[in-house]
């Protein structure tokens, strides 16, 4: 994870200049009053596969979901629930091992039944429950096991970092490690906390992927302002990562906050962006089969849209990913991917940097030997920067290498 001192490098930069963010442990477990559980319901053979998150009272809930035209049943049911009770959400249920995607009317009924069961346990309305799933597409949910698992999860609800870690492990699929992030900040004389958990390791591409993230804060904000702040944060974090360039049917980010009439404060925006960034980078670091990560900066762009388009194109390139894996100093692949973005790059003004070293100057002059570049690429974490030389806008994207292990994992995902 990136340190708090990097918070002002991305979304929420201006806010982070005015508000000091304090990185805290525990993810969602750092949020006061929030209870969590992660249990084995039997959807997967051995590992935990069901998480229940109980919020301390009704919360407003914002969402950012996949742009895939094929959306899983839980996304459709939750969107309907948020349209009805988006200002009064009290719980989140997430299972792994079964995506409940492409399962027709049965899938919708199963997602609705999940919400009803959780609501009955908590004494609330079904529309006050967010449901999410991740796993294999085209498989129906074993509802008898899920129901019994929910009963166990309800009895196991606890506050704190350990419970948050249990919940984070329960939503994992091919992930190797749970992903948690939390920050505290002081604003207007009060201390606030925001925390999150996430899963994601493969089918990760710009504009969301097979990832899920659940975020909550004890700060108060209107739902409309929280939605706007979440979209802004996601654009600079979750939508700027790539493991393999594929997009799933189930990905979503849900952010919950205490209800209030006020807009998101600078502190909340900065802390939300930092939690999203840490969770997003954690997915790249845990990419399926990955051995290296690439942080790719674009500077000197005409505007943020151009900078982000080029950064995403580079970290999403299979040729760039395989060159990273092979430690091959083939800068032509980076430039070709940048130009293919169709973002009106000037072919004569760009310069490329590898780490702190000038690699190619003004589109033609190679300033770094192949041996020097190869030495930098031997590191596990690599940074590169493309300066477009035409403006002042910047963007950062995060990716990883593409390896034989990735092929092995996904060639036998079901078998």
Do 370 and 279 form a contact (C-beta atoms < 8 A)? Answer: no
Do 153 and 48 form a contact (C-beta atoms < 8 A)? Answer: no
Radius of gyration of the chain (CA): 21
Cα separation of 284 and 290, whole Å? 8
Quickly count: other Cβ atoms within 10 Å of residue 76's Cβ: 16
| Of residues 371, 367, 340, the one with CA closest to residue 352 | 367
Output the CA torsion 262→265→268→272 (10° steps). 90
| Of residues 196, 200, 188, the one with CA closest to residue 257 | 196
Residue 384: partners with Cβ closer than 8 Å, 6 or more residues away: 294, 295, 296, 297, 334, 352, 353, 354, 355, 359
Check 66, 78, 134, 210 and give the catalytic one. 210
How far from the centroid of its chain's Cα atoms is residue 389's Cα?
30
Cα separation of 34 and 245, whole Å? 34
Do 170 and 39 form a contact (C-beta atoms < 8 A)? Answer: yes
Cα separation of 159 and 406, whole Å? 36
Task: Kindly provide the residue ranges of all beta strands, DSSP E only, lying in 188-312, ordered along the sequence.
Answer: 190-199, 212-221, 241-242, 252-259, 293-301
Do 397 and 299 form a contact (C-beta atoms < 8 A)? Answer: no
| Of residues 326, 240, 250, the one with CA closest to residue 283 | 240
265 is an active site residue? no
Task: Report, as residue numbers or ranges, the catalytic residues.
Answer: 210
């Amino acid at each position: 994870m990136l340190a708090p001192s990097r918070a002002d490098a991305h979304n929420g930069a201006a806010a982070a200049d005015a508000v000091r963010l304090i990185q805290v442990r525990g993810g969602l477990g750092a949020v006061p009053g929030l209870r969590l559980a992660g249990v084995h319901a039997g959807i997967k053979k051995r590992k935990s596969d069901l998480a229940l998150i109980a919020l301390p009272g009704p919360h407003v809930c914002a969402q950012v979901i996949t742009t895939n035209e094929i959306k899983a049943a839980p996304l459709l049911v939750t969107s309907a629930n948020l349209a009805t009770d988006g200002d009064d959400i009290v719980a989140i249920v997430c299972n792994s091992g079964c995506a409940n995607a492409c399962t027709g009317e049965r899938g919708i009924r199963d997602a609705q039944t999940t919400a009803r069961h959780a609501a009955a346990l908590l004494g609330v309305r079904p529309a006050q429950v967010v449901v999410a799933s991740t796993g294999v597409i085209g498989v129906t949910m074993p509802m008898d096991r899920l129901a019994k698992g929910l009963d166990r999860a309800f009895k196991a609800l606890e506050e704190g970092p350990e419970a948050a870690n249990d919940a984070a492990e329960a939503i994992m699929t091919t992930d190797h490690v749970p992903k948690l992030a939390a920050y505290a900040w002081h604003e207007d004389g009060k201390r606030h906390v925001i925390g999150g958990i996430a899963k994601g390791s493969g089918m990760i591409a710009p504009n969301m992927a097979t990832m899920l993230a659940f975020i909550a804060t004890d700060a108060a904000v209107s739902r409309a302002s929280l939605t706007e702040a979440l979209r802004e944060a996601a654009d600079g974090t979750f939508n700027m990562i790539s493991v393999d360039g594929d997009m799933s049917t189930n990905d979503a980010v849900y952010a919950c906050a205490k209800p209030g009439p006020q807009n998101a404060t600078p502190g909340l925006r900065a802390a939300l962006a930092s939690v999203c960034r840490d969770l997003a980078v954690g997915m790249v670091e845990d990419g399926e089969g990955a051995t290296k990560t690439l942080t790719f900066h674009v500077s000197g762009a005409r505007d943020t849209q151009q900078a982000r388009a080029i950064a995403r194109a580079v970290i999403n390139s299979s040729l760039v990913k395989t060159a990273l894996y092979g430690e091959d100093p083939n800068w032509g692949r980076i430039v070709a991917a940048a130009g293919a973005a169709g973002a009106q790059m000037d072919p004569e003004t760009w310069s490329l940097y590898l780490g702190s070293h000038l690699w190619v100057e003004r589109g033609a002059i190679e300033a770094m030997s192949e041996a020097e570049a190869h030495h930098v690429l031997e590191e596990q974490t690599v940074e590169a920067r493309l300066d477009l030389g035409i403006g002042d806008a910047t963007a950062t994207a995060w990716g990883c290498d593409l390896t034989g292990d990735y092929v092995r994992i996904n060639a036998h995902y079901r078998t």
